[in-house]
Chains A and B, each alone.
Chain A
Amino acid sequence: MTDINNATREVFGNIAPWMRVVFFIMIAASIAVLVWQVAARVLLWRKGQQGGFERDWRVWSRRLVEYALAQKRVHKKSLGALLHMLLFSGFVVLTIGTTLLAIAYDGPYYFHHGWYYLIYELTMDVFGVAFITGCLLAMYRRAFQRKPSLGHNRSDWWLLGLLLSLGVTGFAVEALRMYYTQVQPDVAHWSIVGWLIDVTLLRGIDVGRAQTMHLAAWWVHAILVAAFFATIPVNRFLHVITGPLNIAGRPERPMGALVPLKMEEVEQTGRTGVHELSDFNRQQLLSLDSCMECGRCEDACPATATGKPLSPKAVVIDLRNLMSLGGEDVHRTIHDETLWACTMCQACVQECPVLIGHVDLISDMRRDLIGEGKLSGPPARALQQIGSQSNPYGRSNSERLAWAEGLQVPTAESNPSFEYLLWVGCAASFDPRAQKVARATAQLLKEAGVNFVVLGKEETCTGDPARRIGDEFLFQQRARTNVETLTRRKVKKIVTPCPHCYNTLKNEYPQFGGQYEVQHHSTLLAELVGAGRLSNSSSNGEPITLHDPCYLARVNGEVDATRAVIGAANDAQYREMPRCGKKTFCCGAGGGRMWFEEAPSQRVSHLRSQEALATGARTVATACPFCLNMMTDGMAGTQGGENVKVLDIAELLLNRQRRASR
């Protein structure tokens, strides 16, 4: 029996001193090559505008733990997620292990023995197996699942082959070492894989021969390691360096808030947004290099799903390629139609494991298109109308209260001691279909005895469509005007039925000095239902599903209130769509696309309607006037959807109130 305390192994046992020198030089050289290439990338990032990085160490260190270590975004029920966990954990453990060994060997105190050593060996072997399994699964997935969004670079097979070889030769070296050093079985068992190889493949081989084989295998492994280091920057593996850098570096900001432009900048440069690659900031350029081309953003994108010329992954890769080539003109690489196709649903941003901000990239480029006069047609008309009529529908702003006819809704002017401001939004003010939502909301608030008012003619467009389409100037005009009105009217609490207004008022108006307690109407209505002031119990018993609006569920993380309002938890007939909650699927109207032309075969709303229909629902509830518009149109144009009702949660709740009081 070996004395446990003496259980250890010789390091560099078979490697002659001169070979060790050669080894160190080789590794040093390969690391130098790696560092040199990374430095070249850093120089490219430095061409961008200064700043854009997260400064608060508490924020970025938390993020590193959550996203880089705990791999929060990677977890999913998929082969890709599984194989990445295996590869990641395997690689991390093996790297830590090798580092510990080096420290033990070079350092003052040799701790690589005893129980530590045995557990070390077992751990390394288990994770080595995990690593190799990960490689094999990745190869299988790449060869047989052939997902288009994964992408196929020539370097992909090189990388996988290299990683697999590293894993296999690693075990070969271990097994051969154990064999020729004739490790005692009770210790050898701990290095379980090596031991298994010993007793199966190497059985009967001459020890001297094994030692020679070990040397050969060791050198092969060493050369592969050097090759691996040197080639990291030219294949997907670069993300292990750039990924954490981006995860840490990405500035902390609410998902729904775009970055304001400073007018002074525009005055100086005569430009808005990004025209040349160096107009992006350094963090954005770094983010281009952190992409490992997993394709999850592309899989989630509604534009890609409907055949439009936009894939968020392609935008990142194309910009990255432009950067590598030293190019500048982004519009040569990214076409106008690509940029206009985005609904800014943020599904890509939500999916990205390394936290790339695709929507910001697109928004910055859109701003330049607007500045260059590249927008015309219906969306241009909508912007013009926001500018001159203060709403994108071109209706006279004096008609803002037309929806309230007969309801006696108080205005801020008539009742200055109000608690809530009901911010109606342009859609609910002027779109006849959405006006019913405004009416329902107002009626519900009245019945619940909420002390609310509306602004009436003083309400003007929040400017959200202007900002999303790219006219930051127009947006800021609207924002400043509205903040002035809200300040003058001493508004503290706002409730609105529109998630876009909600997002802008809550997350973007603070950029202009407007701080309010903003609620989406689902939250307030859910509170009132919960407090018994409104009743949602008498449903009509028909199957029902909920379409979560992007700007409520994904961008602002609110999924419970809408369900509470329609009593989903107690309704046996309620069913969820496959893409629901924070992982909802866009209706197609966001990003200003409400005003863009969409070819019949490319309608996002039709795709989503099919998903809703597949649940068997006869009613689709939603909580956004744009979603209402899109889903109504989508259902009417989809086989089997003609008799499906699309309703806002406020309308549903009001119907149930009425039913209950009968």
Chain B
Amino acid sequence: MAESLILIEHDRQQVKRPSLHAITLAQQLGGEYALLVLGHGMDGIAASLVSYGASAVVVADDPALAEPLADRYATVIAEAARKRGTKTILGTSSTFSKDVLPRAAALLDAPMITDVVAIEETDGSISYRRPINAGSMFAMVKVEGDRRVLTVRATAFEPPAANAAPCPISHFDFDAASLPNGMQFISREERKSDRPDLTEARVVVSGGRPLKDKETFERLVGGLADALGGAIGATRAAVDAGMAPNDYQIGQTGKIVAPELYIALGISGAIQHLAGIKDSRIIVAINKDPDAPIFQMATYALVGDLYQIVPQLIESIRRA
């Protein structure tokens, strides 16, 4: 079996850990795999990748690749794949990989499957499980053809072990001058938080009026969100009271979210808020009013004082 090529993402300083999860799928598929990084000044990053059991860490290092411009990156990735005889390119779903990999797939005349969460092998052929319809359904798909590109959902695969014997680092040569020139990077503005984007997070923890103030909101809602690796949301009342900024507002006049898990803290469940969460797969409501309307929509209801419950919850999750 030909060697797979795994695109690893970084932030110019270090590797973005979720992008390593694609390695786990490569291991499940079997066969050898090489890790690919593109950028400029990649020595440190390359060195940090040698223990993941790859056959090589392939580095495309050039000033022309200092910023992740899709036209250049896709060209280099396609070239590397061709030169190395790669049949399967993998990556972890992220805005970076989604920007770059489909273009590379087209350059290689290859089909691509986004957001693989599992694979199944039947009679020697592999089928891939992926979410569709905003995650309300799952499809099993198969691909044919000489090559394919896959991205995985980081949360569906364990991080790989970093205990293999070090592999060589190989510099990939390409003609930087002939790279496309139609795109120009201007600037970036990074959110200071590590938390995922509210509308795409798998887990959302949301707070309402009873959270009193900004500090308490951050401590309890933020604390629980961090324990679960989720995003923070808020009701209109909480936003009006200054507990959370405007872009955290979930509801009819705010954001509409559809996470796997939505935890509502001290939220009564006015219809305007429910409009923003109705497609969530699991809704957990914690409220001291047993008659709160949200309990009608909640999958799991816990009646009680959130000031007691939430710290317990955070503790239990951290311990587990």
Interface size class on chain B is 10 to 19
Q: Given contacts A636-B209, A637-B237, are A433 and B271 in contact (CB under 8 A)?
A: yes
Contact with B along A378-405 (1 / 0, CB 8 A): 1001000000000001110000000000
A597 surroundings in chain B (CB, below 8 A): 253
A344-380 with Cβ < 8 A to chain B: 377-378
Q: Given contacts A595-B252, A637-B237, are A432 and B275 in contact (CB under 8 A)?
A: no
Most buried by A among B272, B275, B295: B275
Question: Is A423 interfacial (CB 8 A cutoff)?
Answer: no
Contact at B269–A432, with CB atoms within 8 Å?
Answer: yes
Question: Is A204 interfacial (CB 8 A cutoff)?
Answer: no
Contact at B297–A432, with CB atoms within 8 Å?
Answer: yes
Partner of B296, one of A377, A394, A395, A432: A432
A600 surroundings in chain B (CB, below 8 A): 240
Partner of A433, one of B240, B275, B293: B293
Contact at B278–A431, with CB atoms within 8 Å?
Answer: no
A433 surroundings in chain B (CB, below 8 A): 269-271, 293
Q: How far is the CA of A427 from the CA of B270 in the complex (A)?
A: 11
B293 surroundings in chain A (CB, below 8 A): 431-433
A434 surroundings in chain B (CB, below 8 A): 271
A622-662 with Cβ < 8 A to chain B: 629, 632-633, 636-637
Q: How far is the CA of A427 from the CA of B271 in the complex (A)?
A: 9
Question: Is B294 interfacial (CB 8 A cutoff)?
Answer: yes
Question: Is B274 interfacial (CB 8 A cutoff)?
Answer: yes
Question: Is A228 interfacial (CB 8 A cutoff)?
Answer: no
A407-438 with Cβ < 8 A to chain B: 427, 430-435
Q: How far is the CA of A281 from the CA of B294 in the complex (A)?
A: 48
Contact at A633–B270, with CB atoms within 8 Å?
Answer: yes
Q: A652 to chain B: closest CB distance in Å? A: 15
Contact at A395–B270, with CB atoms within 8 Å?
Answer: no
Contact at B252–A636, with CB atoms within 8 Å?
Answer: no
Contact with A along B109-149 (1 / 0, CB 8 A): 00000000000000000000000000000000000000000
Partner of B270, one of A381, A394, A596, A632: A632
Partner of A378, one of B209, B252, B268, B296: B252
How many residue pairs link A and B with beta carbons under 8 A? The number is 44
Q: A651 to chain B: closest CB distance in Å? A: 11
B237 surroundings in chain A (CB, below 8 A): 633, 636-637
A514-530 with Cβ < 8 A to chain B: none
Contact at A629–B270, with CB atoms within 8 Å?
Answer: yes
Partner of A393, one of B240, B268, B270, B275: B275
Q: B57 to chain A: closest CB distance in Å? A: 48
Most buried by B among A427, A434, A600: A600
Contact with A along B266-300 (1 / 0, CB 8 A): 00111110110010000000000000011111000
Contact at A378–B269, with CB atoms within 8 Å?
Answer: no
B295 surroundings in chain A (CB, below 8 A): 432
Contact at B296–A435, with CB atoms within 8 Å?
Answer: yes
B271 surroundings in chain A (CB, below 8 A): 393, 427, 430-434, 629
B296 surroundings in chain A (CB, below 8 A): 432, 435
Q: How far is the CA of A432 from the CA of B252 in the complex (A)?
A: 15
A186-245 with Cβ < 8 A to chain B: none
Q: How far is the CA of A595 from the CA of B297 in the complex (A)?
A: 20
Contact at A378–B253, with CB atoms within 8 Å?
Answer: yes
A394 surroundings in chain B (CB, below 8 A): 275, 278
Contact with B along A432-450 (1 / 0, CB 8 A): 1111000000000000000
Q: B7 to chain A: closest CB distance in Å? A: 37
- Residue ID in chain A nearest B279 by CB atoms: A394
Contact at A395–B294, with CB atoms within 8 Å?
Answer: no
Most buried by B among A378, A395, A430, A432: A432
Q: A640 to chain B: closest CB distance in Å? A: 15
A427 surroundings in chain B (CB, below 8 A): 271
Q: How far is the CA of A596 from the CA of B236 in the complex (A)?
A: 13
A393 surroundings in chain B (CB, below 8 A): 271, 275
Partner of A395, one of B240, B253, B278: B278
Q: B30 to chain A: closest CB distance in Å? A: 44
Q: How far is the CA of A434 from the CA of B270 in the complex (A)?
A: 10
Q: Given contacts A378-B252, A378-B253, are A637 and B240 in contact (CB under 8 A)?
A: yes
Contact at A432–B294, with CB atoms within 8 Å?
Answer: yes
A377 surroundings in chain B (CB, below 8 A): 253
B297 surroundings in chain A (CB, below 8 A): 432
A432 surroundings in chain B (CB, below 8 A): 269, 271, 274, 293-297
Contact with A along B223-246 (1 / 0, CB 8 A): 000000000000001001000000
Q: How far is the CA of A600 from the CA of B235 in the complex (A)?
A: 13
Q: How far is the CA of A393 from the CA of B274 in the complex (A)?
A: 10
Q: How far is the CA of A433 from the CA of B209 in the complex (A)?
A: 18
Q: B213 to chain A: closest CB distance in Å? A: 15
A636 surroundings in chain B (CB, below 8 A): 209, 237, 268
Q: How far is the CA of A596 from the CA of B251 in the complex (A)?
A: 12
B32-80 with Cβ < 8 A to chain A: none
A596 surroundings in chain B (CB, below 8 A): 253
Q: How far is the CA of A446 from the CA of B272 in the complex (A)?
A: 31
Q: How far is the CA of A434 from the CA of B296 in the complex (A)?
A: 12
B253 surroundings in chain A (CB, below 8 A): 377-378, 596-597
Q: How far is the CA of A395 from the CA of B278 in the complex (A)?
A: 9
Q: How far is the CA of A381 from the CA of B237 in the complex (A)?
A: 22
- Residue ID in chain A nearest B252 by CB atoms: A378
Q: How far is the CA of A395 from the CA of B269 in the complex (A)?
A: 16
- Residue ID in chain B nearest A385 by CB atoms: B275
- Residue ID in chain A nearest B240 by CB atoms: A600
B209 surroundings in chain A (CB, below 8 A): 636-637
Q: A117 to chain B: closest CB distance in Å? A: 72
Q: A412 to chain B: closest CB distance in Å? A: 25
B240 surroundings in chain A (CB, below 8 A): 600, 637
Q: A325 to chain B: closest CB distance in Å? A: 37
Q: How far is the CA of A651 from the CA of B79 in the complex (A)?
A: 71
Task: Other than A432-B271, A434-B271, A637-B237, give 15 A-B pairs with Cβ distance below 8 A.
Answer: A378-B252, A381-B252, A393-B275, A394-B278, A432-B274, A432-B297, A433-B269, A433-B271, A435-B296, A595-B252, A629-B272, A633-B237, A633-B270, A636-B209, A636-B268
Q: Which chain A residues have a beta carbon within 8 Å of chain B's beta carbons?
A: 377-378, 381, 393-395, 427, 430-435, 595-597, 600, 629, 632-633, 636-637
User: Can you name 29 A-B pairs with beta carbons within 8 Å?
Assistant: A377-B253, A378-B252, A381-B252, A393-B275, A394-B275, A394-B278, A395-B278, A427-B271, A431-B274, A431-B293, A432-B269, A432-B274, A432-B293, A432-B295, A432-B296, A433-B270, A433-B293, A435-B296, A595-B252, A596-B253, A600-B240, A629-B272, A632-B270, A633-B237, A633-B270, A636-B209, A636-B237, A636-B268, A637-B237
Q: Which chain B residues have a beta carbon within 8 Å of chain A's beta carbons?
A: 209, 237, 240, 252-253, 268-272, 274-275, 278, 293-297
Please provide the 3 A-B residue pairs with the shortest distance between their CB atoms, ordered closest to farther.
A432-B293, A432-B296, A431-B271
